Amino acid sequence: MSLLDALSTPRLRWDGRHPNTVLVSLSLIMLAAFWSLDVVSMAPNRIVQGTSYGALEALGWPGALLATLLLSFIGILAWQPSPRHYRALLAAVMTLMALMPVGLIASSYLLIDPELPQARLGLGAAYWVVLFVLLLCLIEIRLRLKLTRLWPTLLLCGVALVWWLCATLWLDSLALVQEFKARDRQFLRAIGQHVTLVGAAVSISVVVGLVLAMLMRRYARLQKSAFAVLNFLQTIPSLALFGLLLAPLAWLAANVPLLGQLGVSGIGTTPALIALIAYSLLPMVRNTYIALEEVSPDTLEAAKGMGMRAGQRFWQVRLPLALPVLLEGVRITTVQAIGLTAVAALIGAGGLGTFIFQGLGQAAMDMVLLGALPILMLALVVDAGLGALAEALRPGGTR
């Protein structure tokens, strides 16, 4: 066949059965991590460093073989994927996540001596790598099945419920569970403080951001200066901003009796709230401004032709059409605030960051996880919920 004939020959259509190299590679990574890294560690108490155990010692031959088959199953299905295979892959990933605490129960039975009531079971590197890679697999499968962000989050919440039930009923020896039981009231109080700080900061930034965006649309000269100030605030490290707020707030509390009575001080909730609002304003203002500007002029002209006044056009046409993009700004702002609030624990504002910094000071990684994991879960739930809501509100979006 000549070169001209080869170029003129129509190409075969892709039938969707080529290997999904992403999922195949992730399956191989999980298998390598499962067999080469430590699965769990066991320590006789909180002070003594734990002993690490591999897959065979931690799970025994039956458990190690079952885990290997499930991990290999992902790579096998991904070799020639189809829509049915992707649904099976989703079920396999969620099943693996749900069975992970069962492996910890088996490890607890095999490794922990009943005569050591203070013995602690810790999660090894293999557990964390497999869990992280499974989350990557879930993202890839979601994109292939074209699912909204809400469905994977609901599935993850179901898996989290399974983990919680297993930890409550059968995993008393797990180090993370022991850290929680020793500080359960403090933990619940910290969650309340964290959510309150985030909710207050985001609520205020939404209102201020909307006002600033509207002012910038009305006064063009304000746009450059406002964005310059907000960009500058983003460049200040969070700890430095907390430090900069300490002196002026302490002076105001000492010299203005009303502020002192309201609880304003150089440390605590007040500087944390001000800093969170300062960091939240840039994404909020930028998305709000863009959302309001991107509304089609033809739509607004049609609304004007129908006899709508300026206020009616804004509240009944411009704002509803801008709402999906505006919600993206709220999503970014909230997720950012959830993470930054952890740092506020350093200035006495409380929250889940308290456990992170106490754990770092005591070299207790399980206490660090006690603060970090809820922050991660909060960020995932908020990101998925607001993202799904924004998708549903878009014209032609999923409802």
pLDDT (tens digit per residue) in 44-68: 877 777 788 888 888 888 889 988 9
At 396 the pLDDT is 57
pTM of the model: 0.82
Residue keyed to tokens 């096998």? 76
Check whether 21 has a pLDDT greater than 60.
yes
pLDDT in tens, 193-215: 999 999 999 999 999 988 898 88
State yes or no: pLDDT of 31 exceeds 90: yes
Tell me the mean pLDDT in the region 86-111. Answer: 88
| pLDDT reading at 138 higher than 80 | yes
In the numeric block, which tokens belong to residue 40? 């769990």
Q: Which domains does the chain have, with CATH numbers?
A: 21-180 (no CATH), 184-393 (1.10.3720.10)
Query: For residue range 227-265, what is the model confidence (pLDDT) as tens digits?
Result: 888 888 888 887 788 778 877 887 777 777 777 777 777
Which has the minimum average pLDDT: 88-97, 150-159, 333-342?
A: 150-159
* Cβ-count burial 81-118 (b if 16+ within 10 Å, e if not): beeebbebbbebbbebbbbbbebbbbbbeebbeeeeee
Q: What is the mean pLDDT of the chain?
A: 83
CA–CA distance from 192 to each of 185, 189, 198 (Å)? 11, 5, 10
> For residue 397, is pLDDT > 70?
no
The DSSP secondary structure of 3-39, one letter per residue, reads: HHHHHHSPPPPP-S-S--HHHHHHHHHHHHHHHHS--
Whole-number percent of the chain with pLDDT over 90: 16
More reliable by pLDDT, 320 or 69: 69
